[in-house]
A and B are shown apart, each in its own frame.
Chain A
Amino acid sequence: EPEVTQTPSHQVTQMGQEVILRCVPISNHLYFYWYRQILGQKVEFLVSFYNNEISEKSEIFDDQFSVERPDGSNFTLKIRSTKLEDSAMYFCASSRGLSNQPQHFGDGTRLSIL
């Protein structure tokens, strides 16, 4: 069964540095998402992406964050000038459509900011 893949599984970075989290969505899916989950808290929506542009973003997704689909398969989340509070699990998801189509999640990247 096709799945969403994310790399790396764990990223450790010094505060203030930039990180890029990578995702390969399921191949016939058109809608892509990033979510994060701070330890012990609920999963939170960050951004949705369709047709090479952001379709919605949350209040969390400020100027520090950006997303890109650099080629036909990868979908990336860049976090500039990381802060301690950016430490979390970051999940990429994809779906075939919008209406009544489930979002399938990758295994996540654990981001630790020191």
Chain B
Amino acid sequence: QKEVEQNSGPLSVPEGAIASLNCTYSDRGSQSFFWYRQYSGKSPELIMFIYSNGDKEDGRFTAQLNKASQYVSLLIRDSQPSDSATYLCAVNNIDGTASKLTFGTGTRLQVTL
């Protein structure tokens, strides 16, 4: 059973601070890793994806991947109240022409004023 683990939170950070979200996965064969943001009652919205070890930056967001440790993280700099949402870590496993995302339960982020 392929698992993706996240701390459910809530993670509370003050406005302007850095939020650090973490995720571990069980399948060493996983190829690519995604962070989605989900507001309550809404669909997952892609924030970033990463497939090589190291860091990938996009604006205020940085994704970090360490395949040896089976660990993915998302840093949000200068956190804003509008960043308050649940952040879903998803791991992609590909087998032939088949691909599926395995999601974690999500970490709820609260950015306080």
Contact = CB atoms under 8 A, between A and B. Distances in A.
Co-assembled chains A and B: yes
A43 B44 contact: yes
A42 B106 contact: yes
Contacts of B101: 33, 35, 43, 45, 103
A106 B43 contact: yes
A42 B43 contact: no
A87 interface: no
Most B C-beta atoms less than 10 A away, residue of A41, A50, A91, A98: A98
B49 A100 contact: yes
A48 B98 contact: yes
A102 B34 contact: yes
Chain A: interface size category: 20 to 34
Interface residues of B, number: 27
B94 interface: yes
Interface in B42-59: 42-46, 49, 51
B96 interface: yes
Most A C-beta atoms less than 10 A away, residue of B44, B51, B95: B44
Most B C-beta atoms less than 10 A away, residue of A35, A55, A102: A102
Given A100-B31, A100-B32, A105 B99 contact: no
Contacts of B31: 99-100
Contacts of B94: 98-99
Given A42-B104, A43-B103, A100-B51, A56 B45 contact: no
Interface string A28-39: 000101010000
B97 A51 contact: yes
A17 to B, nearest CB: 24
For the complex of A and B, 5 pairs with smallest distance between CB atoms? A56-B98, A55-B98, A43-B103, A45-B100, A105-B43
